[in-house]
Structure 1
Amino acid sequence: MNPTEPLMQASQYLHALQGYWWPFCRLLAVFSMAPLFNHKAVSKKVRVLLALVVTAAIGGALPQVADINPLSAQGVLVTLEQIAYGLILGLSLQLVFTVFSVVGEVVSSQMGMTMARYNDPVNGVSSSSIVYQVYFVLLAFLFLSIDGHLLTLSVLFKSFIHWPVGSGLNFTSYTIFIQAISWVFSAAVLLTLPMVFCVVLVQFCFGLLNRISPSMNLFSLGFPITILVGLLCIYITLPNLPESYLRLTRDLLDNIGVMLEGGPDV
């Protein structure tokens, strides 16, 4: 046996593993930010294991990776590039849930339920509104009913085609992602506008009554009425939640498609 043969085999194995290391970094970054995958019920070990399994499943079908030494300075930069791409995709997939998070916060503040908070360390804040928790449970079921987990894997696979490993970061894709953030606020305003208008109208009426009859203690009466009207508006708008979620998801996928096509392969 040639003494150099084991060394050559180890070098070949290292070259083969390069095609799995950088996809693993991107997948793990996506699973750290994507909806439901980043939930506290999914531990870090489960995310790492899931990223390993998915990488092993799709690694052979990905485009050929350039011959880059992972231990070199260029290899470290490529690793950071994959993490950046994964964070962008994960945050992009999270935007629809962010829309309803803003909706829940706005509706809660208008109803006077800002003191009703729920411990929410998942989103990086100490607490979130109880109204958003209702939306989150419904969104989780909708996400699974439309096979959102498979859709996430599909977006990941296409990202390796449009953003191949070692292609470098693209300014156009970042610009489109920043523009998508403004889309979140505009969508949240459109969803909350009917409920906010109804609650503000009730508060305006009680304010007018208070000016007409100052002797009446309308604060103790207006507070529960405002909450009841807010709950009634939520009850009326909940049947339209699946349609709104699907429409926002389609818009989100269009934005992600434009962002991917603005990558280095264009």
Structure 2
Amino acid sequence: MNASEPLLHASQYLQTLQNYWWPFCRILALFSLAPLYSHKALSMRVRIVLALALTLALAAALPEVGAIDPLSLAGILTTLEQIGFGLLLGLSLQLVFVIFAVVGEVISTQMGMSMARYNDPLNGVSSSSIVSQLYFLLLALLFFAIDGHLLTVSVLYQSFIYWPVGSGLHYPGFETLIYAMSWVLAAAVLITLPVVFCMTLVQFCFGLLNRISPAMNLFSLGFPMAILTGLLCIHLTLPDLPEHYLHLTRSLLDNLGALMRSPLHG
């Protein structure tokens, strides 16, 4: 080697940084939508630090990235591609939490507790029902109980195996996400169906009582009975919550696995 030749070239540094930059974009995008990672109690600085730490831990085990100039148009498109993959995975993993958020809203409305709302930092809205927050706290405990944070990392690593950097966005991923919205609504309806039936039966009975005795003040009697019946239904259905959560999570992971193993361009 010529003594005047530099030991390391700037291009070598750039190539090394590429192996960390593309995974970092995908990981940070996933953390912006993944369950619990996207909670507003977790600041952006903490998410960036977690994404950097996870990038350093996974970069050596990820497939090699081809020579792509990060400052070229192809490099910009590759960055957008990684962000798209991360958002797709994060939104897919969030669907189970969305199901129980819908369940909480439906039950709260049936109980007449729609006015009992407070700030919801998870979804970034001004208010959320108390029942939805109850389900969220229980799901958060179940998420850590089944090592959901490690499962998220495993899904992320598998995404780099089946969707390597530079493979390009593909239509089946977005098509599957659109179909998943109907899956969310169907699962929420099935879970809330027993509670909705009981609450409808109670309201029907009080409506019938109002026809029989119009002089009775149903506002002072009906609302407390509806709330007590709703709380009783929640108490009776809560023991089945872990089973429902595990079943929905297993279905979600099966769908994600089938999506990742599908052809990249279809």
Range class of TM-score, shorter chain:
over 0.9
Q: Are residue 152 (structure 1) and residue 152 (structure 2) matched?
A: yes
**Residue by residue, what CA displacement relative to the aligned partner does 1:54-75 show, whole Å, maximum 9, x if unpaired?**
1111101101111100011110
- Over the aligned positions, Cα root-mean-square deviation in angstroms equals 1.4
Aligned residues: 265
Structure 1 residue 35 corresponds to structure 2 residue 35: yes
Whether 1:127 aligns to 2:119 is: no
**Percent pairwise identity:** 66
Describe the superposition over 1:88-126 as per-residue Cα deviations: whole angstroms up to 9, x where unpaired. 000000000000000000000010000011201331211
Q: Relative to structure 2, which stretch is displaced further, 77-86 or 122-131?
A: 122-131
Question: In the alignment, residue 87 of structure 2 is paired with which amino acid?
Answer: L
**What is the deviation of 1:2?**
5.3
Q: Partner letter of residue 63 of structure 1?
A: P
Verify the 8 A CA contact 2:28 2:51 in the aligned structure 1. yes
CA distance 1:265–1:63, shift in 2 (3 Å): farther
List alignment gaps of at least 5 residues for structure 2.
none
Alpha carbons 2:29, 2:86 under 8 Å: kept = yes
**Following TM superposition, where does structure 1 have runs of at least 4 consecutive aligned residues deviating by more than 4 angstroms?**
1-4
Provide, for residues 215-261 of structure 1, a one-character-per-residue CA deviation record: whole Å limited to 9, x for no partner: 11122201110000000000010111111100010011011112212
The answer (yes or no) to whether the contact 1:173–1:262 under 8 Å persists in 2 is no
Deviation at 1:176, TM superposition (A): 1.1
Q: SS of the counterpart of 2:118?
A: strand
**In 2: Cα distance, 1:95 partner to 1:264 partner:** 23
Distance 2:263 2:57 in 1: 24
Cα distance in structure 2, aligned partners of 1:238 and 1:2: 73
Q: Does 1:174 align with 2:208?
A: no
Aligned-partner Cα distance in 2 for 1:178–1:30: 18
TM-score by length of 1: 0.96
**1:22 touches 1:79 (CA, 8 Å); kept in 2?**
yes
Task: Establish whether residue 218 from structure 1 lines up as the match of residue 229 from structure 2.
Answer: no
1:183-198 maps to which residues of 2 (within 5 A)?
183-198=183-198
- 8 Å Cα contact 1:163/1:260 also seen in 2: yes
Match for 2:27: what amino acid?
Answer: L
* Residues 24, 55 of structure 1: 8 Å contact kept: yes
1:103–1:188: 8 Å Cα contact kept in structure 2? Answer: yes
- In terms of mean alpha carbon deviation, does 209-218 or 78-87 score higher? 209-218
Give the aligned partner of residue 100 of structure 2.
100
Q: Distance in 1 between matches of 2:258 and 2:118?
A: 36
Residue identity opposite 1:175 in structure 2: E
* Counterpart position of 1:5: 6
Structure 1 spans left out of the alignment, 5+ residues: none
- Structure 1 residue 81 displacement after superposition: 0.6
The separation in 2 between residues aligned to 1:263 and 1:11, in whole angstroms, is: 33
Query: TM-score, with normalisation over the residues of structure 2?
Result: 0.96
Provide, for residues 187-241 of structure 1, a one-character-per-residue CA deviation record: whole Å limited to 9, x for no partner: 0000000000000100000000101111111222011100000000000101111
Matching residue of 1:230: 230
